[in-house]
Chains A and B, each alone.
Chain A
Amino acid sequence: MNRCGRRVFRTALAVVVVAAGTAGPAQARNVRSQSRGAVNVNQNVNRNTNVNRNVNVNVDRDVHVHGGYYGGGCCYHDDHPVATAAAVTAAVMVTAAVVGSIVNTLPPSCTTVVVNGFGYQQCGSTWYQPQISGGSTTYVVVNPPR
Chain B
Amino acid sequence: MKFMTGVRQASMAAALVLAVAGGAGALASAEEAAKPVIEPAAMSALKAMGAYLRDLKSFQVDATTSDEDVLDDGQKIQYDNVVQILVEFPGRLRAEVTSDRRERLYLYDGKTFTLFARRLNYYATVPMPPTVGKLADALEEQYGFSVPLEDLFRWGAPGWSTDQITSAIDVGASSVQGTTCEHYAFRQPDIDWQIWIQKGAHPLPRKLVITAKTDEARPQYTAVYTWNLAPSYNEQSFAFDPPDGAVRVGLADAFTAGKAGGSK
Contacts and interface: CB of A to CB of B under 8 A. Distances in A.
Contacts of B188: 39
B132 interface: no
A54 B241 CA distance: 34
B69 A131 contact: no
Interface residues of B, number: 67
B212 A36 contact: yes
Contact of A131 (B141, B212, B249): B249
Nearest to B244: A1
Interface string A16-45: 000000000000011111111111111011
Given A36-B212, A37-B210, A77 B118 contact: yes
Contacts of B247: 112, 114, 119, 130
Interface residues of A, number: 55
Contacts, number: 180
Mostly, the A contact residues are loop
B251 to A, nearest CB: 7
A131 B252 contact: yes
A3 interface: no
B43 to A, nearest CB: 14
Interface in A40-83: 40-42, 44-45, 49, 51, 55, 57, 60-65, 76-78, 80, 82-83
Contacts of A136: 252
A62 B103 contact: yes
B28 interface: no
A57 B139 CA distance: 26
A106 B221 CA distance: 31
A101 B65 CA distance: 33
Given A100-B260, A143-B263, 4 more contacts: A35-B219, A49-B214, A119-B247, A134-B115
Interface of A: 29-42, 44-45, 49, 51, 55, 57, 60-65, 76-78, 80, 82-83, 98-102, 112, 114, 117-119, 129-138, 140, 142-143
